[in-house]
A and B are shown apart, each in its own frame.
Chain A
């Protein structure tokens, strides 16, 4: 099918609108049913994407190209390569769990809740498929709206503050991106990011941003604009403070999407914008990103150790894990970049699972404080087993998915510089410390109080959710080759471009006036 990506993007959005149409909470059961069908359908349409994908080619696949806004030369230009394919799949996959996770715990405005997640899922797919800079930006910004509502309407006590902080922070970050996009557009005369779509090469005069010649000064300013936007979204060290608030206040589903998908948008932005468009500036300023990443890994890891709220702890651990991702990107080696990508996917599974586990406990006792728990294993043995597995994956135990990515990044770091690798490797200790210590305090020991004693073990629905995620975590940890195989060619192509840079080469194509 030629318009498969459009189907992937718009199926969840339409399903979301359909869910909205079910109306008030009198039809809650219907809304849940429609939402689940929509989410499953949204996932089902991504499967032909995986089956039809040619891993041997670095070119964009499933390309769609239509002029959208002629006046600005904005195109509805979609395509996936080995890098973005996995995120589309992951996003659609996680959406199913989000709908399931809110099955019992969300009782108010069920239709709107599920609709918000479905629409967001579609918009996120749009971000990962967009090959036109403005289309990317439009999806990028629009995806803030559903998450703002999710945190604000179904969140905890301090939800208004968290929702506003989330929105304003990310909006502030993305406006420099807009300026950079405008600048690039005026320089190149188009919004095409990477490749000229097939059939348009004949025009010859089209310059994509990847090919646009830029001086080092220009590149550095553009790189910094990109950095602000994506660093807020990742989030990287000095601009990470919105994330713990957003995570703590968001409902379980919101936290899952935030950790599993929304954070990946920033990292994905580095791959789509910073590295291809400003490769020389990326080399020039790699030290900055590496330093910030190491701070995230070490300092934020220590901050996580001190948390009393389980969600906050996992939120900080997410920041630390994302530090690994940005570190991997800026080592400029295939191993590091693939490791970072694997880490992103793995973190999607593991953090989603961690938040779902915390959600299981929260649904029962309505608290997330570590001190309120203790001895959960005595009353919830099945749950404790799952939680154990995910905690181990979070601490990057070999044979879980968490290990693969971190190990690859550390190996790449050793090739780069011993001390960078040393800093990164401390996460193996710190990460294990905060995760396992939390696990010990919550699950082991004697039963802490009567409330814990009255807990019921997980239901069939919860068992299904956690079981599937456990399979993913183990599967990816034991046999990561399918993941890396798909991205291999695309990563090599990107790195070839980044290493070559823009400044020394001679460009045959003159820029548009």
Chain B
């Protein structure tokens, strides 16, 4: 009877396993990404061209496909919300963030193509596959409704990013940056895991909404014995989130990695992972730990304040544009955190929406800034010093104007999207009664304006010299894309309504989810 035993054992194996209940179609974008990255990895062995045109095009097509699949699987009913027995969630927030994520990665790779091609050690199929895998990781993080996929996604993303930073094997700076990134990133992952295990210890659940439910029971019945371990767990989680977002005082890796990594990798690290980090924060703190709000709120407030102060002050002293943008990223993360940190009952959806809006505008501005940097970079010339931008207005008035738009937007000057982002978080802070936080933020944004204006000073007030950026080798389409990106910053500043509405809807979807449980 061994011939009959085989199907039996298989059927037994699948007994508790209802494929339909897994609701696999909801994870179609992730599955597609995974399959395609394996396919591209194999196909790339056949590609002979040093420019990797096939690999690059396939990667972009994959991202477009994922974009389309995400749109097609957007939730229409409650049945469309959960997959993998509730471990995977596909709410409006997830869909919105994923659509943005794929778009951002698409633009990132398009901007960095020429940069990669001019550095043979970086222009390999692996770079694109790693990018896809990192995207997969972020995508899983965004949709995670359980500690395990959350951690899994984070690790898939992080390991791919470490490797992308280290792609330039012969460059000592890049290797150092990758090492730092790896060691500190691993520590952050450790923190996260440690925090998760403590929360698990207190609540005996790994499902995020279930944790929230258990906690409210604990609070109702007053099991004070769990309080200490819970508080410690929250501390570790917030520390890990701080690491991943790059908020002070967990920002140490950020300037070195931004500076040391090849600009293409810097752009990748600077833009898309912030979206995933934001999702991590929302899922962990808002979805799972609403009962501990007073704990994480004050911690986030400290993170926000430190980030704004440190980011803006240290950025003043930078002469390297990438490093300056790194410190500016720290301060932007601080601003973004103000929204979440000033959550109150009357401003709940507003708080989440303002943070999300800030994040999106930050990602858009960062993409444009690094996109312009990458335009001017050539083989052997990184175009990453501020001095390289001397007199840019005389050589490339169009791109000087684009850079000026981005810098003014980052400084929060109106008619650009950065202003509305700052306005929204400040309004939330004042509305929630944290006027002092708004005042600190405002004071340091004046400090911040100084170094953004200095970039404009280099581009417009100075004369170009021999070391200054001169030539743009990029093709017409990339130039158009970068210009559209920068003009988008201006356009969204004039008409921010749609983006505001989408942020608000996504925020509400997260809160509805809490109600639903």
Given contacts A71-B501, A142-B415, A144-B413, contact A175 B445 (CB under 8 A): yes
B397 within 8 A of A: yes
Q: Are the CB atoms of A163 and B461 closer together than 8 Å?
A: yes
Q: Are the CB atoms of B450 and A168 closer together than 8 Å?
A: yes
Q: Are the CB atoms of B414 and A167 closer together than 8 Å?
A: no
A139 to B457, CA, bound (A): 22
B438 within 8 A of A: yes
Q: Are the CB atoms of B497 and A179 closer together than 8 Å?
A: no
A138 within 8 A of B: yes
Q: Are the CB atoms of B460 and A152 closer together than 8 Å?
A: yes
A159 within 8 A of B: yes
B449 proximity list for chain A (CB < 8 A): 167-168, 171
Q: Are the CB atoms of A168 and B446 closer together than 8 Å?
A: yes
Minimum CB–CB distance for A452 against chain B, Å:
32
B408 within 8 A of A: yes
A242 to B513, CA, bound (A): 53
Binds A, one of B96-104, B322-330, B422-430: B422-430
A172 within 8 A of B: yes
B504 proximity list for chain A (CB < 8 A): 71
| Interface positions of A from 423 to 471, Cβ below 8 Å from B | none
| Interface positions of B from 402 to 459, Cβ below 8 Å from A | 408, 413-415, 419-420, 423-424, 426-427, 430-431, 435, 438-439, 442-443, 445-446, 449-450, 453-454, 456-457
B496 within 8 A of A: yes
A70 within 8 A of B: yes
A172 to B460, CA, bound (A): 23
Minimum CB–CB distance for B309 against chain A, Å:
16
B269 proximity list for chain A (CB < 8 A): none
Q: Which residue of B lies closest to A155 (CB)?
A: B461
| Interface positions of A from 182 to 216, Cβ below 8 Å from B | 182-183, 185-186
B500 within 8 A of A: yes
Q: Are the CB atoms of B438 and A152 closer together than 8 Å?
A: no
Q: Which of A69, A159, A176 contacts B461 (CB 8 A)?
A: A159
Minimum CB–CB distance for B96 against chain A, Å:
16
Q: Are the CB atoms of B413 and A141 closer together than 8 Å?
A: yes
Q: Are the CB atoms of B446 and A179 closer together than 8 Å?
A: no
A139 proximity list for chain B (CB < 8 A): 414
A56 within 8 A of B: no
A69 to B500, CA, bound (A): 9
Interface of B is mostly: helix
Given contacts A71-B504, A168-B449, contact A141 B414 (CB under 8 A): yes
A68 to B498, CA, bound (A): 11
B461 proximity list for chain A (CB < 8 A): 152-153, 159-160, 163
A176 proximity list for chain B (CB < 8 A): 442
Minimum CB–CB distance for B394 against chain A, Å:
8
A349 within 8 A of B: no
B415 proximity list for chain A (CB < 8 A): 138, 142
Given contacts A71-B501, A112-B397, A168-B446, contact A179 B438 (CB under 8 A): yes
Given contacts A138-B415, A144-B413, A186-B427, contact A149 B460 (CB under 8 A): yes
B501 proximity list for chain A (CB < 8 A): 70-71
A176 to B439, CA, bound (A): 8
Q: Are the CB atoms of B423 and A178 closer together than 8 Å?
A: yes
A273 proximity list for chain B (CB < 8 A): none
Minimum CB–CB distance for A28 against chain B, Å:
14
Q: Are the CB atoms of B427 and A142 closer together than 8 Å?
A: no
Given contacts A172-B446, A175-B445, contact A69 B413 (CB under 8 A): no
A103 proximity list for chain B (CB < 8 A): none
How many residues on the A side are at the interface (Cβ–Cβ under 8 A)? 34
Per-residue 0/1 for B372-410: is the Cβ within 8 Å of any A Cβ (1 yes, 0 no)? Answer: 000000000000000000000110010000000000100
Q: Which residue of B lies closest to A175 (CB)?
A: B442
Q: Are the CB atoms of A145 and B438 closer together than 8 Å?
A: no
Per-residue 0/1 for A137-175: is the Cβ within 8 Å of any B Cβ (1 yes, 0 no)? Answer: 111011011001100110000011001100110011001
Q: Which of B414, B443, B456, B497 contacts A138 (CB 8 A)?
A: B414
A137 proximity list for chain B (CB < 8 A): 414
Minimum CB–CB distance for B9 against chain A, Å:
59
B457 proximity list for chain A (CB < 8 A): 152, 160, 163-164
B438 proximity list for chain A (CB < 8 A): 179, 182
| Interface positions of B from 168 to 205, Cβ below 8 Å from A | none
Q: Are the CB atoms of A186 and B414 closer together than 8 Å?
A: no
Q: Are the CB atoms of A178 and B453 closer together than 8 Å?
A: no
Q: Which residue of B lies closest to A159 (CB)?
A: B461
Per-residue 0/1 for B469-513: is the Cβ within 8 Å of any A Cβ (1 yes, 0 no)? Answer: 000000000000000000000000000110011001000000000
A144 proximity list for chain B (CB < 8 A): 413
Minimum CB–CB distance for A98 against chain B, Å:
19
A142 proximity list for chain B (CB < 8 A): 413-415
Given contacts A141-B414, A160-B457, A163-B457, contact A69 B439 (CB under 8 A): no
Q: Are the CB atoms of B430 and A171 closer together than 8 Å?
A: no
Q: Are the CB atoms of B439 and A179 closer together than 8 Å?
A: yes
A72 to B419, CA, bound (A): 13
A164 to B500, CA, bound (A): 32
A141 to B256, CA, bound (A): 34
Minimum CB–CB distance for A137 against chain B, Å:
7
Q: Which residue of A lies closest to B442 (CB)?
A: A175
Q: Are the CB atoms of B426 and A71 closer together than 8 Å?
A: no
A229 to B49, CA, bound (A): 61
A153 proximity list for chain B (CB < 8 A): 393, 460-461
Q: Are the CB atoms of B500 and A182 closer together than 8 Å?
A: no
Q: Which of B394, B426, B431, B454 contacts A178 (CB 8 A)?
A: B426
Q: Which residue of A lies closest to B438 (CB)?
A: A179
A209 to B419, CA, bound (A): 23
Q: Are the CB atoms of B497 and A69 closer together than 8 Å?
A: yes
B446 proximity list for chain A (CB < 8 A): 168, 171-172, 175
Minimum CB–CB distance for A179 against chain B, Å:
6
A72 proximity list for chain B (CB < 8 A): 420, 423-424, 427, 500
Per-residue 0/1 for A497-513: is the Cβ within 8 Å of any B Cβ (1 yes, 0 no)? Answer: 00000000000000000
Q: Are the CB atoms of B419 and A138 closer together than 8 Å?
A: yes
A109 proximity list for chain B (CB < 8 A): 393-394
Q: Are the CB atoms of B426 and A182 closer together than 8 Å?
A: yes
Per-residue 0/1 for A406-419: is the Cβ within 8 Å of any B Cβ (1 yes, 0 no)? Answer: 00000000000000
Q: Are the CB atoms of B430 and A186 closer together than 8 Å?
A: yes
A109 to B394, CA, bound (A): 9
Q: Which residue of A lies closest to B408 (CB)?
A: A145
Q: Are the CB atoms of A71 and B500 closer together than 8 Å?
A: yes
Minimum CB–CB distance for B456 against chain A, Å:
8
Given contacts A69-B496, A149-B460, A178-B442, contact A183 B414 (CB under 8 A): no
Minimum CB–CB distance for A6 against chain B, Å:
14
Minimum CB–CB distance for B293 against chain A, Å:
22
Q: Which residue of B lies closest to A172 (CB)?
A: B446
Per-residue 0/1 for A277-307: is the Cβ within 8 Å of any B Cβ (1 yes, 0 no)? Answer: 0000000000000000000000000000000
A128 to B400, CA, bound (A): 30
Minimum CB–CB distance for B342 against chain A, Å:
13
A68 to B442, CA, bound (A): 25
A395 to B393, CA, bound (A): 42
A88 to B310, CA, bound (A): 43
A148-B456, A164-B453 given; 19 more Cβ-contact pairs under 8 Å:
A69-B500, A71-B497, A72-B424, A72-B500, A112-B393, A138-B419, A141-B413, A141-B414, A142-B414, A148-B453, A152-B457, A163-B461, A168-B450, A168-B453, A175-B443, A175-B445, A179-B442, A185-B427, A186-B431
> Would you list 29 pairs from A and B whose C-beta atoms are within 8 A, ordered by A residue?
A69-B496, A71-B500, A71-B501, A72-B500, A138-B415, A141-B419, A144-B413, A148-B453, A148-B456, A152-B457, A159-B461, A168-B449, A168-B453, A171-B446, A171-B449, A175-B443, A175-B445, A176-B442, A178-B423, A179-B426, A179-B435, A179-B438, A179-B439, A179-B442, A182-B426, A182-B438, A185-B427, A186-B427, A186-B431
Q: A residues touching B (Cβ–Cβ < 8 Å)?
A: 68-72, 109, 112, 137-139, 141-142, 144-145, 148-149, 152-153, 159-160, 163-164, 167-168, 171-172, 175-176, 178-179, 182-183, 185-186
6 shortest A-B CB distances, which residue pairs?
A71-B500, A138-B414, A152-B461, A175-B442, A141-B414, A142-B415
